[in-house]
Amino acid sequence: MRFSVTDTGIGITPEDQQKLFKPFVQIDSSLSRQYEGTGLGLALVKKMVEMHGGSVAVQSDAGVGSQFIFVLPWNQTMEIKADAGLSDMVSEKHDPKQKALPAGCGKILIADDNEVNVIMLMDYLENRGHQVFVAHHGGEVLQEAQRVSPDVILMDLQMPQVNGFEATGRLRKDPQFASVTIIGLTAFAMDGDRERCLEAGMDEYVSKPFSLKDLNQMIENFINHSPI
Where does a domain end: 55, 71, 87? 71
Q: Are 171 and 201 in contact (CB under 8 A)?
A: yes
Same-domain check for residues 194 and 158: yes
Are 48 and 157 part of one and the same domain? Answer: no
For residue 191, what are the domain limits? 79-223
What's the whole-model pTM score? Answer: 0.60
- How many domains are there within the chain? 2
135 domain-assigned: yes
Q: What is the CATH number of the domain that holds 129?
A: 3.40.50.2300
Q: Are residues 133 and 27 in the same domain?
A: no
**Distance between CA atoms of 127 and 43, rounded to whole angstroms?**
20
89 within domain boundaries: yes
pLDDT in tens, 47-87: 888 877 888 888 888 888 889 899 988 766 555 555 554 44
pLDDT in tens, 88-145: 444 444 555 555 567 678 999 999 988 888 888 888 899 888 999 999 888 899 999 9
Q: Which residue has the higher pLDDT, 83 or 198?
A: 198
Residue 176 has phi, psi (to 5 degrees) of: -65, -30
Q: Looking at the structure, tell me whether residues 124 and 181 fall in a common domain.
A: yes
d(CA 222, CA 217): 9
Tens digits of per-residue pLDDT, 150-166? 999 999 988 878 888 99
Residues 121 and 10 reside in one and the same domain:
no
Q: Which residue has the higher pLDDT, 20 or 218?
A: 218
Residues 64 and 100 both lie in one domain: no
